[in-house]
Amino acid sequence: MTNIVVTGRIPHPGIERLGTVGSVWAWDDDEPIPTDVRNAHLAHADVAVTLLTDRVDDAFLDAAPQLRMVANVAVGYNNIDVAACQRRNVIVTNTPGVLTDATADLAMALVLMSTRRLGEGERLIRSGAAWQWGMFMMLGRGLQGRQLGIVGMGGIGVALARRARSFGMTIAYHNRSAVNADVANELGATRHELRQLLATSDVVSLNCPYSPETHHLIDADALQSMRSDAFLINTARGPIVDEAALVAALRNGAIAGAGLDVFEHEPTVHPDLLQLDNVVLVPHLGSATVETRTAMAMLAADNVVAVVNGGAPLTPVG
Ligand code: GLV
């Protein structure tokens, strides 16, 4: 019998599917699994189904001597030491594709929230302060004819570009490789060096994976090279941005505003961000719809089913 350990709560259909190929033990609490409990179950695990809050490193793998597979219920896999898994012949899978639309929706929502000052407006109403419609009250920025600069033009970047086009934005991007010509034509998207993209975009959206190469890609210098009326949106991973430098840039007017779904030291948020009105803060909700989280659990489970049945993983990493 294959022993499957699920290290956090996932939608039930995923658990049911996993149950068709093995005996499933799942941590069923919103609190993170205590390490000793996790390790006790990993000791007999053939497969681990993990969340982005799990650190799958040598210590995790040492606790799981018979592990054959790690199925991460996330598209990002920076929480997994893929090289360590490969050294031990542990297959790693992620959940690309199924969360593309939900994450692009959230990125577009942050573009709108930041440029139209919706967080600030909501806080004003909730404060109970007196207010009245005014010609110059809380003016934001329109999107028509403005350039969206997308850093990381994978599936989510392209899906965001499609949404932004329907709001009248033009699309520029920075990516290691050029996007397929049909997609570039459809979007009218032009490829730029990072500094040029930052210097010319009205809104910059980060949609690249987090890796040593993208750690602090947006640092003080990068923020300085942005326009003072520009906005930064991050729905990718927090440490891509130097959060202290971002605080300074928001405070001294180097950029106009930001919309953040992810944080450098998640779940801790830089305390100064909480004091700033020109930043919208949401708690890592990119893929947080019922449909998407269910699809992610099912794709992770489908990967497990494929491997346990002797087939190839559907969406392998590395
Ligand atoms: C969410 O952040 C994911 O990587 O799936």
Please report the DSSP string for 183-249 in residue order.
HHHHHT-EE--HHHHHHH-SEEEE-SPPSGGGTTSB-HHHHHTS-TT-EEEE-S-GGGB-HHHHHHH
214, β-bridge pairs: none
User: What is each CA distance from 49 to 119, 203, 223, 302, in whole angstroms?
Assistant: 36, 36, 38, 11
Q: How many CB atoms lie within 10 A of CB 98?
A: 20
Say if domain 2-98+290-308 classifies as CATH 3.40.50.720. Answer: yes
- C-alpha 78 – ligand 1 centre gap (Å): 10
Please tell me the residue having the least CA distance from ligand 1 atom 4: 76
- Could you tell me the CA-to-CA distances from 170 to 110, 143, 164, 221 in Å, in that order? 17, 9, 8, 25
Rounded to 10°, the helix 155-166/100-115 angle is 50
- Ligand 1 centroid vs 85 CA: distance in angstroms? 20
Nearest C-alpha neighbor of 232 from the set 257, 197, 265 = 257
Atom of ligand 1 nearest to the CA of 76: 4
Asked if residue 203 has its Cβ within 6 Å of ligand 1, the reply is no
The token pair at 35 is 């390490």
Of the candidates 282, 13, 261, the one whose C-alpha atom is nearest the C-alpha of residue 156 is 261
For ligand 1, say whether the CB of 75 is within 6 Å of any of its atoms.
Answer: yes
Q: Which residues are marked as active site?
A: 237, 266, 284
Q: What is the pLDDT of residue 318?
A: 82
270 Cα–ligand 1 center, Å: 21
Nearest CA to ligand 1 atom 1: 74
> What's the gap in Å between 71 CA and the centre of ligand 1?
13
The ligand 1 atom nearest the CA atom of 236: 2
238 lines ligand 1 (CB under 6 A): no
Q: Is the CB of 208 under 6 A from ligand 1?
A: no
What does each C-alpha distance from 71 to 82, 90, 152, 181 come to in angstroms? 12, 10, 24, 33
Positions of the chain with pLDDT under 70: none
- Report which protein residue has its CA nearest ligand 1's atom 5: 74
Instruction: Determine the distance separating the centroid of ligand 1 and the alpha carbon of 171, expressed in angstroms.
Output: 24
* Minimum-distance ligand 1 atom for the alpha carbon of 74: 5
The domain made up of 100-281 is a member of CATH 3.40.50.300: no
Task: Tell me, using a 6 A CB cutoff, whether residue 99 lines ligand 1.
Answer: yes
Domain ranges in the chain with CATH number 3.40.50.720: 2-98+290-308, 100-281
Binding site membership of 287 for ligand 1 (Cβ less than 6 Å): yes
The pTM for the full model equals 0.96
